[in-house]
């Protein structure tokens, strides 16, 4: 962490010093691509707002409760006081250019966290000083583990009554499975948070004046000297166990310099070995400048992350590419958003090389060329046109036609396909219908645009009922989408009662045959396939494998067979639910030299697939949710009794201050409208969070009821 050497007494000078017109630097070591992740209401948006203010990017701070923050710019976000879509912005601190993504904390919008983590080099995990390691904190932590994103932690809201920094540290050690390294301690004057202790420098830092703009570094107060020394010794011991140089100096009693400590912490943050923890209060402007210093000192630059990995589409041969402006151009589109004024915005992380306005690039995922008409740098919903984008930048391209989330854009002479992004499956569905005849034509088009933006939002037309079915991650997710239909696309729609998004699968290994033979007097149709179908691991979806040899079926018909399988999997044989977790192996078949066509083989594949479902003892699967409920001790019995009546499995019960935390797994269908239930059971004192876990077989006694309702 960079040490303050002077008191910044004039905030206007600070703002003028840091205000700048966005410009890109060739030195990747001075770029930080970071995000803020946390449980809902931990203070991500407030922290982002303070950082933008203290770096001079904005000159007036907004408040979440007032609905006027920069990154919560959507009407729905300002009305509800929550973040719904991840917002990109940027600022400059000292000589560093920082690209920031503020992500949602609500589980219904977890896809926004997922795709942001895919392209970020580091994250700041924000924890509430009162709530500690809350359920969604663990979820985003595991998401960061999945993408191996280095992180630092900021314990926020230490100004609130009941906040306990040391209890949060102990909870992090128990729950987060990594080395937790406090590098700051809070300083209180009676009950007011006034500053922090920098354990590395063993100095006290106070934030004074308007908005905490004057940063004063002085000696640690006498009552905190012993505690500071204890945490300093603990820090050195932890670093010594990881680093031989620190160990030798520690054993031999040599002085370990501040810059050595900082460099060592940085090394092990980048390797995902440890997580330094800072503290403060974003709302009260305590600890923001030191957090900025930590972001620059500890989190990696684009070049620290190492070469990117991808493959050649034709051969699937793995290749790597250096993260450098000198490498051939390569970028990943991680988000698509429809702007009412400029059309689609394609959020992209540029990993290698550079690209200019009006350039033609190659979409290696879809194997077609695209033209970039404009490049813009985003400041939430505001756009600044720039001439070029370089390695390390997070920007938006305008003018692309066929690019979607997860596609790779690159130099056509140096093609590479980056690793695909994985998104969770929707768990809740509703039927949506236009309110008027005039809305009918616009509805499906608008829904498709929303589906292109959000990979966790699915749209399906049910031919049997003539309804549009939309599916998402929760009731709030679908509520927001329907609200956006009206506000952004001027389409009035009404929805039915939320339904569980059931799935179907088979339970045994079967062989299935499909034939499509049609004679019409002229050229006919002929397609014949034989499949082996078998259940596979949960979450694998539909896997297709071709084992045809010797030209029994010409290779030009194989893609059509695969398409037939995928189309047939949209609707199963029991209740018409999507089919998942089946491996389909093409082992035999035949063709006619004149009559065979792609259409014939596609229909034959659909026929065989449906036969396999009927032979394979199909079952219905239901989504199982992880639910965590915070309840007062005196009401725990009634809550547990209610959970047992809902087919819940209690996994653990733990203490959280004067409350009890119940962790359980429960079928989603049993906890619709659970907010009302928990409110009634606890006289309004209980709260809960819920997230998808996995799909599991529906008990036999409930299948008839489900199919009857269907």
Query: How large a percentage of the chain has pLDDT more than 90?
Result: 38
The torsion of the CA quartet 445, 450, 453, 458, rounded to 10 degrees, works out to -100
Residue 691 pLDDT class (50, 70, 90 cuts): confident
According to the model, what pLDDT value does residue 162 have? Answer: 86
Tell me: pLDDT of 665 over 80: yes
In tens, the pLDDT along 640-651 reads 998 999 899 999
**Tokens coding 448:** 């498709």
Angle 222-242/244-251 helices, nearest 10 degrees? 120
According to the model, what pLDDT value does residue 690 have? Answer: 76
> Kind of pairing, strands 542-546 and 582-590?
parallel
Span 294-303, mean pLDDT? Answer: 94
Instruction: Please tell me the distance from the alpha carbon of residue 273 to that of residue 254, in angstroms, as a whole number.
Output: 25
Tell me: pLDDT of 522 over 70: no
Q: Which carries the bigger pLDDT value, residue 455 or residue 195? A: 195
Span 454-475, mean pLDDT? Answer: 75
* Helix segments in 271-352, DSSP class H: 288-298
Tell me: pLDDT of 388 over 60: yes
* Run of H or E including 641: helix 636-644
Instruction: Please tell me the distance from the alpha carbon of residue 503 to that of residue 571, in angstroms, as a whole number.
Output: 9
**Tokens coding 672:** 């619709």
Q: Judge contact between 447 and 432, C-beta under 8 A.
A: yes
In tens, the pLDDT along 316-332 reads 778 888 888 999 999 99
Tell me: pLDDT of 134 over 70: yes
Span 201-213, mean pLDDT? Answer: 89
According to the model, what pLDDT value does residue 80 have? Answer: 60
According to the model, what pLDDT value does residue 103 have? Answer: 81
What is the distance, to the nearest Å, from the Cα of residue 129 to the centroid of all Cα atoms in its chain? 23
Residue 63 pLDDT class (50, 70, 90 cuts): low
Tell me: pLDDT of 26 over 60: no
According to the model, what pLDDT value does residue 704 have? Answer: 79
Which of 466-471's residues contact partners 24+ apart within 8 Å by CB, and which partners? 467/431, 467/432, 467/433, 467/496, 468/431, 468/432, 468/433, 468/443, 468/444, 469/429, 469/430, 469/431, 469/432, 470/429, 470/430, 470/432, 471/426, 471/427, 471/428, 471/429, 471/501
Non-local CB neighbours of 352 within 8 Å, separated by 6+ positions: 308, 321, 322, 323, 324, 325, 327, 328, 329, 330, 391
| Most distant CA atoms of the chain, gap in Å | 100
What is the distance, to the nearest Å, from the Cα of residue 398 to the centroid of all Cα atoms in its chain? 23
Angle 674-681/636-644 helices, nearest 10 degrees? 140
Q: Running DSSP on this structure, what letter comes out for residue 647?
A: T
Residue with token string 């959970």: 643
Based on its alpha-carbon atoms, the radius of gyration of the chain, rounded to whole angstroms, reads: 28
According to the model, what pLDDT value does residue 286 have? Answer: 92
Residue 251 has, within 13 A of its CA and on its CB side, a CA count of: 8
> Kind of pairing, strands 151-156 and 274-279?
parallel
> Kind of pairing, strands 122-128 and 151-156?
parallel
Give the least confident one: 75-89, 364-378, 579-593, 672-686: 75-89
pLDDT, averaged across the chain: 84
Considering only CA atoms, which of 361, 344, 343 is closest in space to residue 352? 361
Is pTM, for the whole model, over 0.95? Answer: no
Span 468-483, mean pLDDT? Answer: 81
Residue 84 pLDDT class (50, 70, 90 cuts): low
According to the model, what pLDDT value does residue 23 have? Answer: 37
Residue 233 pLDDT class (50, 70, 90 cuts): very high
Span 557-579, mean pLDDT? Answer: 90
Tell me: pLDDT of 262 over 70: yes
């Amino acid at each position: 962490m960079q040490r303050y050497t002077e008191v910044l007494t004039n905030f206007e000078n600070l703002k003028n010093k840091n205000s700048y017109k966005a410009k890109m630097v060739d030195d990747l070591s001075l770029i930080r691509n970071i995000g803020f992740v946390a449980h809902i209401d931990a203070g991500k948006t407030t922290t982002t707002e303070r950082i933008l203010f203290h770096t001079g990017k904005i000159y007036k701070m907004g408040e979440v409760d007032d609905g006027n923050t920069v990154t919560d710019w959507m009407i729905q976000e300002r009305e509800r006081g929550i973040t719904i879509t991840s917002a990109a912005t940027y600022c400059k601190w000292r000589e560093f250019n920082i690209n920031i993504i503020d992500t949602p904390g609500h589980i219904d919008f977890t896809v926004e966290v997922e795709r942001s983590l895919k392209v970020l080099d580091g994250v700041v995990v924000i924890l509430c000083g009162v709530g500690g390691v809350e359920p969604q904190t663990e979820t985003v932590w595991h998401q960061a583990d999945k993408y191996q994103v280095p992180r630092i932690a900021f314990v926020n809201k230490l100004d609130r009554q009941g906040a306990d920094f040391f209890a949060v540290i102990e909870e992090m050690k128990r729950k987060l499975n990594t080395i937790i390294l406090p590098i700051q301690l809070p300083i209180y004057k009676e009950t007011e948070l006034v500053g922090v202790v920098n354990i590395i420098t063993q100095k006290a830092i106070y934030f004074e004046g308007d908005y905490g703009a004057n940063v004063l570094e002085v000696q640690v107060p006498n009552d905190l000297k012993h505690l500071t020394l204890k945490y300093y010794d603990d820090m050195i011991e932890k670093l010594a166990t990881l680093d031989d140089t620190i160990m030798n100096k520690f054993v031999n009693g040599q002085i370990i310099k501040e810059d050595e400590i900082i460099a060592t912490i940085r090394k092990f943050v980048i390797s995902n070995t440890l997580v330094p923890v800072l503290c403060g209060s974003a709302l009260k402007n305590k600890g923001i400048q030191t957090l900025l210093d930590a972001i620059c000192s500890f989190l990696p630059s684009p070049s620290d992350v190492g070469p990117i990995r991808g493959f050649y589409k034709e051969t699937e041969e793995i290749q790597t590419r250096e993260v450098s402006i000198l490498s051939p151009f390569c970028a990943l589109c991680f988000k698509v958003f429809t702007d009412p004024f400029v059309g689609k915005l394609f959020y992209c992380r540029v990993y290698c090389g550079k690209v200019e306005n009006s350039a033609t690039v190659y979409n290696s995922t879809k194997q077609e060329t695209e033209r970039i008409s404009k490049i813009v740098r985003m400041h939430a919903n505001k756009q600044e046109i720039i001439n070029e984008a370089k390695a390390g930048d997070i920007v938006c391209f305008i003018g692309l036609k066929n690019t979607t989330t997860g596609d790779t854009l690159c130099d056509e002479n140096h093609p590479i396909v980056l690793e695909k992004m994985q998104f969770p499956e929707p768990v809740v569905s509703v039927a949506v219908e236009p309110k008027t005849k005039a809305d009918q034509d616009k509805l499906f088009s608008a829904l498709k645009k929303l589906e292109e933006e959000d990979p966790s939002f699915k749209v399906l037309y049910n031919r049997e009922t003539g309804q549009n079915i939309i599916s998402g991650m929760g009731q709030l997710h679908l509520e927001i989408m329907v609200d956006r239909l009206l506000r952004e696309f001027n389409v009035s729609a009404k929805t039915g009662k939320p339904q569980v998004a059931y799935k179907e699968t088979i339970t045994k290994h079967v062989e299935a045959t499909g034939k499509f033979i049609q004679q019409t007097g002229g050229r006919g149709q002929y397609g014949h396939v034989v499949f082996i179908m078998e259940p596979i691991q949960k979450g694998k979806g539909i896997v297709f494998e071709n084992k045809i040899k010797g030209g029994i079926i010409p290779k030009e018909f194989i893609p059509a067979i695969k398409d037939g399988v995928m189309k047939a999997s949209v609707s199963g044989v029991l209740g018409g639910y999507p089919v998942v977790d089946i491996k389909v192996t093409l082992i035999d078949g035949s063709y006619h030299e004149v009559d065979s066509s792609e259409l014939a083989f596609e229909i034959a594949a659909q026929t065989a697939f449906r036969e396999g479902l009927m032979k394979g003892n199909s079952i219905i699967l239901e989504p199982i949710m992880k639910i965590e409920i915070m309840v007062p001790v005196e009401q725990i019995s009634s809550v547990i009794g209610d959970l047992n009546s809902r087919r819940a499995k209690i996994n653990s019960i733990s203490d959280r201050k004067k409350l009890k935390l119940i962790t359980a797994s429960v079928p989603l269908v049993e906890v619709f409208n659970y907010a009302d239930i928990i409110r009634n059971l606890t006289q309004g004192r209980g709260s809960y969070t819920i997230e998808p876990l996995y799909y599991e077989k529906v008990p036999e006694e409930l299948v008839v009821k489900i199919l009857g309702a269907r």
